[in-house]
Amino acid sequence: MTTSRQLFEIAKKRIPGGVNSPVRAFRGVGGEPFFVKSASGCRLTTVDDEVLIDFVGTWGPAILGHAAEPVIAAVRETAGRGLSFGTPNPLEIEMAETICRMVPSVQKVRMVNSGTEATMSCIRLARGFTGRSKIIKFEGCYHGHVDSLLVKAGSGALTHGNPDSAGVPEALARLTVTLPFNDPDAIAAAFAANPGEIAAVILEPVPANAGLYLPEPHFLENLRNICTRQGAVLIFDEVMTGFRLARGGAQEIYNITPDLTAMGKVIGGGLPVGAFGGRAEIMDCLSPDGPVYQAGTLSGNPIAMAAGLAQLCEMERTDGWSTLEKTGAAFEAATREVIQGLPLTFQRIGSMFCLYFHEGPVRNLQEAMGSDRVRFGKFFHGCLSDGVYFAPSQFEAGFLCTAHSPADIEQTAKVVQKNLARVF
């Protein structure tokens, strides 16, 4: 059997950096990535025959764990009837009805193939709807690799030290106003400095691409009010938090109604899916009803719809969100016990978490950047050697799934304790 090391050498010859998405190259922690041959529940099996407890969950989609039976069954059953039609299919309607029922701010929705497509389309739609050009985003928030959103971005852009990507024309970047998160005064000042010019404010309501930090009380509410007053479109990027933190995502938890929402990950059950939706009045500006163009050959793909619907349906049938909250609380309690007295900050909401190598507080990008990334890298590799896979970057969130058992949490806490003792 070819080892991960051998495969990576081969991959680097044909794939830039040997990977199809930068964080996977492990540059944020040093060393080389492993290759996976199979996954089941909360475990990955590498080509080197190592079994790892997985806290990445394919970066969010695997909310029921890997290869969840209802999802695999739906894919098998649907695939037998054809892989793609390029015509309307009934599963698209079922998905649209399900999303609109679960996320009440979404009155109409369009399916796309990734979170990036979803945020990109939201921006275009907001510009088309308002007739304005500028957008506001927040430092450390990552909305996929959309040109105008790769400004002070998080996730891989931040991990690899280029939050302002090369290749984004300055003229375009100038249309993006970037503000610190959790700072209401900065928002008021930005609107005052750009009167009648802001088409949209886009944010991850719970930023999870610079680790994980939470909105402070009233931050989102204030943002909602100012957007309403100023006629700007409020866009929640719930690609990570949607259908995960609650049935209705972060907007349900914080009780805020955005105008548009970008979605993805969980609704694809592990297949490439995104969606965006919101107020009918805005969504009706999309082609063919309106003048804002957006399209996709594989959008609404029947296999992806079937996988996503099966996952959402299973989450509802089993009230997966309660299970995730219990698991999250147990994971938090176990982690807090082993980090006592160390200069670390643990943050969690539902099934998402981050352990910052920093004494905190962490409320924005600047504070997240204070983390000791060298120490994090050593901790990461120690845990990996002991069979626990956390995200290979201090600036990515961790994910729990319904397949993590109390025994997995207990085992993980022991590994965390052992490796913290090694690095401190």
Chain contacts with ligand HOZ (rule: CB under 6 A): 21, 23-24, 59, 155-156, 209, 396
Identity of the residue, 208 or 312, whose beta carbon is nearer to ligand HOZ in the bound complex: 208
Minimum Å distance from CB 185 to ligand HOZ?
29
Minimum Å distance from CB 191 to ligand HOZ?
29
- CA dist 289 and 310 (Å) reads 30
Residues in the chain: 424
What radius of gyration, in Å, describes the C-alpha atoms of the chain?
21
Q: Which of 265, 356, 389, 408 is catalytic?
A: 265
The DSSP element (H or E) to which 203 belongs, if any, is: strand 198-203
Minimum Å distance from CB 24 to ligand HOZ?
5
- CA dist 391 and 24 (Å) reads 9
Q: Of all residues in this chain, which one has the CB nearest to ligand HOZ in the complex?
A: 21
- CA dist 56 and 419 (Å) reads 19
Q: Burial level of 100, CB count in 10 A (0-12/13-18/19+)? A: middle
Q: In this structure, are residues 262 and 256 in contact, taking their beta carbons and an 8 Å threshold?
A: no
- Angle of helix 69-79 relative to helix 302-317, nearest 10 degrees, comes to 150
Identity of the residue, 21 or 385, whose beta carbon is nearer to ligand HOZ in the bound complex: 21
Minimum Å distance from CB 218 to ligand HOZ?
27
The answer to whether residue 289 is catalytic is no
Minimum Å distance from CB 302 to ligand HOZ?
24
Q: Which of 54, 108, 134, 237 is catalytic?
A: 237
The answer to whether residue 142 is catalytic is yes
Identity of the residue, 352 or 409, whose beta carbon is nearer to ligand HOZ in the bound complex: 352
Identity of the residue, 24 or 247, whose beta carbon is nearer to ligand HOZ in the bound complex: 24
- CA dist 365 and 70 (Å) reads 39
Tell me which residue of 174, 170, 143, 171 sits closest to 157, measured CA to CA. Answer: 143
Amino acid in the structure at residue 153: A
Minimum Å distance from CB 286 to ligand HOZ?
27
Q: Burial level of 192, CB count in 10 A (0-12/13-18/19+)? A: exposed
Q: Two tokens at 87?
A: 């015509």
Query: Cβ of 14: how many Cβ atoms within 10 Å?
Result: 7
Amino acid in the structure at residue 20: N
Identity of the residue, 57 or 128, whose beta carbon is nearer to ligand HOZ in the bound complex: 57
Minimum Å distance from CB 23 to ligand HOZ?
5
Q: In this structure, are residues 203 and 137 in contact, taking their beta carbons and an 8 Å threshold?
A: yes
How large is the greatest C-alpha to C-alpha distance in the chain, in angstroms?
62
Q: Which of 54, 134, 142, 259 is catalytic?
A: 142
Identity of the residue, 211 or 308, whose beta carbon is nearer to ligand HOZ in the bound complex: 211
17: left (phi over 0), alpha (psi -120 to 50) or beta: left
The answer to whether residue 254 is catalytic is no
Identity of the residue, 110 or 145, whose beta carbon is nearer to ligand HOZ in the bound complex: 145
Identity of the residue, 237 or 396, whose beta carbon is nearer to ligand HOZ in the bound complex: 396
Minimum Å distance from CB 183 to ligand HOZ?
23
- CA dist 369 and 173 (Å) reads 23
- As beta bridge partners, residue 286 has 292
Residues 6+ positions from 368 with CB-CB distance below 8 Å: 140, 210, 211, 213, 356, 358, 362, 394, 395
- CA dist 28 and 17 (Å) reads 13
- As beta bridge partners, residue 386 has none
Which residues belong to the active site?
A: 142, 237, 265
